[in-house]
Structure 1
Amino acid sequence: MNYVTNTQSTSTNKNKTFSNLTTKALRLFILLVLIPLFNLSLSSCSQSDSIAPESENHSAARENASILNVDGFESDKVGSFWSKELFTPTAGKLVNDLHRVGNQAMRFSWKPSQANGTNKMLHSELATSAIAPGDVAERWYGYSSYMPSASMAKDDQTVIVSQWHGVPDPGFEDSVPPLCIELNSDRLKLWYCASNVAITKALQNSTSNKRLDLGAAIYDRWVDYVVHVKWDPTGKTGLLEIWQDGKRIVNEQGISIGYPQQRKPYWKCGLYCWMAKATYEEKSIYYDEVRIGGPSANYDAVKPGRNDNSAKVQF
């Protein structure tokens, strides 16, 4: 009996020892394998939650810092950065019958009847400020325009619908706009030029120029534009890029563009009917979603339609 009892006791002790060893081994496995994995998972979640939003915010802040002027024409007045070249009661109005985004847009109007022999009365435009001396001569412009066929189509009288104008230095003169977009006979055309010598007399010929056909005019709908220009009148580092509805239609790299003036060109939008004639009793064009960016801006920073997610993707 004692033998049997002792054998059972010994077997029981061995079972307990084995059980204890198994429990310890399981605990060790959890410590060595499962807990590090769990900690790694927590660490990854923490990094994702803290880093991603911070990165996004930084990008948005940097993009906003690159913007110099914005006007969606939603107020009862145009932005304070504009200079007005509106010389009749109907030359420029904030309207709500057409708009790209929001509730209003800017309507420009010009009538042949207002031509009086002076250059002043050929303009119905808003103008920005020139680039100051010493500032980087590079800008991004985003805007959307609408040309009604009822007042713009099938007219062989050239009208400038967007232009960048020079600023003469003291004691000097100015020449034709170094960059402009024209409409004539249902075609959009671009002209850019440069001079490597000072402009000493009015309308002095440029020393280089180029004309590009931008294609058939688009009527009766909003068309989005982004223009990127770097002015370089005497070298070969200038550039000009233009996107229409997201598609790049102009890509001029390593060019001479502009004049050797201290202040670099300012942008004007609206109508300049320099031929003083038109097929219609009144010409009109609408503008909306204006954004102007400095040298650190890009396509996405100035593209129209940002506020309602209708902006065109760049391609």
Structure 2
Amino acid sequence: MNPSFYPSANKSCKSTRIIRKFILIKFGQVKLIAKPEFVIKSLLLFIICLVLVSCKDPGVKELDQNSLNATKKNDVSARNAGSFAEDLKPIIRYNFDTEIGSWYENSTCCPWSLSLNSLVARAGSGSIKFDLRREDNIQNPRTELGREPNNNQESWYGFSLFFPASFIKDPIEESIVQWNSRPDLKEGESWRSAPLFLGILNDRFVLEVRSDSNRITKQGYFSFNRLDLGPVEKETWHDWVFHIKWAYDNTGVIEVWKNGQLILSRLNQPNSYNDAMFPYFKVGIYKWDWATKATVGIDRRTMFVDEISIGNHTADFKQVSPQATPLPVTLASFTAAKLGLVSQLKWSTAQEVNAERFVIQRSSNAKNWQNVGEKMAIGASSNLINYAFTDQKPVKGTSYYRLKIVDKDQTFAYSSIKSLKF
């Protein structure tokens, strides 16, 4: 009898031993040497044994608890060394001209919480507007978008922020951009404060950094640093670039550029928790103090965001910076005022580099624009230059105005939008 004809199965299965004892397979013929009903029952048991987990393949080696712990330890070491495969495209961009784009998290509650906006834009024709009101969600006062957690230890981030005049000074801190860290729930960890976030406190930008090398991080049990990053100016765009290499030991890196200038270089210091995944990017307004009604007299927060670029370790400053293509001029001011039945537009430049002209554009809906005039630029200047234009035929109702600033190589950018009612 050739043993190769026997069905392959685990010898620990009792029914298999019965089948082997009572069935003789030879040259494709089966000879029964037991009662038929007994053999049928044994065949059924044999089939069940093949598909049940209890009939384990003798070639599969199970890891004991020590092996599992060692594997987990190696994974954590590899994570902190940044040896995981990259799962982020070289550059991900959001310009918010026509759509919000794809996001992993959308923490909003109301129709007005998050919307595309055409009145204010850093570049292109629109931006995204975050609008948080105290009565929206008392238990979780936030309006935010978030990317998915990832295994990228080193990344680059660029974005532009705009705060209207209504964004008044608040003595209690609030978050506008954060890099949150997903807890290792299976290890018994729960949510903690973000290891890194950009916030606003008393009309100043602040950067908070938290870190902990322990495998399990509890809320409040971490190192903490708060860094001042300068004043919050209203009615103008703030361009930011962050270069981050995450680490819970002394190999972490945080570099920050504001409006093209390097303002922070925090090297060889911890900046994260010892989690299985690296922190992920979130943008939007989070006012945790509203849950306790701590702030008095501030019931609404509005912020505009544009030109978000996210890159992995292969990116650089120029690829993610909102200033990758510098504006031909630096606008010091741009105003619109009613002068009888006409519109009086005035603007000033603090600096001009290769500027060619200003195209004055008007719209009745802030979406469809027409050219109503031009002014030639000085072209090259580091002094304050004043310009003015009068629109003799404003639109009945609301007239929207913006400047199209054209460079000598015909590249261009847009100013913020002003409106007048007639």
Q: Same fold (TM over 0.5)?
A: yes
Q: Corresponding residue for 2:94? A: 71
Deviation of the 1:214 alpha carbon: 0.9
How far the C-alpha of 1:200 sits from its partner, in A, is: 5.2
Q: Which residue of 2 aligns with 1:229?
A: 244
Whether the 8 Å contact between 1:112 and 1:278 is mirrored in structure 2 is no
Aligned to 1:98, which of 103, 120, 124?
120
* 1:150-188: CA deviation from partner (whole Å, max 9, x where unpaired): 1x2222232111111001113222321100111121111
Contact 1:83 1:126 in 2 (8 A): yes
The one-character-per-residue Cα deviations of 1:35-84 (angstroms, maximum 9, x if unpaired) are xxxxxxxxxxxxxxxxxxxxxxxxxxxxxx97331100112x31114421
Match of 2:298 in 1: 280
Specify which structure has the bigger relative contact order, considering alpha-carbon pairs within 8 angstroms and separated by 6 or more residues: 1
Query: Is residue 192 of structure 1 aligned with residue 209 of structure 2?
Result: yes
Q: Which residue of 2 aligns with 1:34?
A: none
Displacement after TM superposition at 1:85 (Å): 1.0
2: CA distance between counterparts of 1:81 and 1:281?
27
Q: Is the alpha carbon distance of 1:252 and 1:93 closer, same or farther for their aligned partners in structure 2, counting shifts above 3 Å?
A: same
| CA distance in 2: counterparts of 1:194 and 1:246, whole angstroms | 28
Separation in 2, partners of 1:161, 1:200: 24
Deviation at 1:199?
A: 2.8
State how 1:116-127 maps to structure 2 within 5 Å: 116=138, 118=139, 121-127=140-146
Tell me what 1:145 maps to. 161
Q: Contact (CA 8 Å) 2:196, 2:208: kept in 1 or not?
A: yes
TM-score, with length taken from structure 2: 0.53
* Aligned 8 A contact 1:86 1:92 in 2: yes
Contact in 2 for aligned 1:67/1:301 (Cα 8 Å): no
Query: What TM-score results when the alignment is normalised by the length of structure 1?
Result: 0.71
Aligned-residue offset at 1:111? 0.9
**Helix, strand or coil: the match of 1:275?**
helix
Task: Provide the residue aligned with 1:303 in structure 2.
Answer: 321
The secondary structure found in structure 2 opposite 1:300 is: helix
Asked whether the 8 Å contact 2:103–2:145 carries over to 1, the reply is no
- Once the 2 structures are TM-superposed, how far is the Cα of residue 272 of structure 1 from its aligned partner? 0.5
Extract structure 1 runs of 4+ deviating beyond 6 A: none
1:114 Cα deviation from its structure 2 partner:
2.1
Q: Greater strand percent: which structure?
A: 2
After TM superposition, give the deviation of residue 149 of structure 1 in Å. Answer: 2.2
**Kept after mapping to 2: 8 A contact 1:157/1:278:** no
List gaps (5 residues or longer) in structure 1. 1-64
1:268 to 282, 286, 296: 282
Deviations along 1:17-52, whole A, 9 cap, x unmatched? xxxxxxxxxxxxxxxxxxxxxxxxxxxxxxxxxxxx
Matches within 5 A, 1:33-72: 67-72=90-95
Question: Amino acid of the residue matched to residue 95 of structure 1?
Answer: N
Q: For each residue in 1:185-225, what CA deviation from the matched residue of structure 2 results, as whole angstroms up to 9, or x when unmatched?
A: 11111110100102354x2421x221111111121101100
Alignment partner, residue 241 of structure 1: 255
Kept after mapping to 2: 8 A contact 1:94/1:105: yes
Runs of 5+ unmatched residues, structure 2: 1-87, 330-422
Deviates more, 1:78-87 or 1:101-110: 78-87
User: Which residue in 1 is equivalent to 2:111?
Assistant: 89
2:176–2:198 CA contact under 8 A, matched in 1: yes
Report how many aligned residue pairs link the two structures: 236
Report sequence identity in percent.
26
CA shift for structure 1 position 290:
0.5
Change in Cα spacing, 1:230 to 1:279, as seen in structure 2 (3 Å) is farther
Residue 182 (structure 2) aligns with:
167
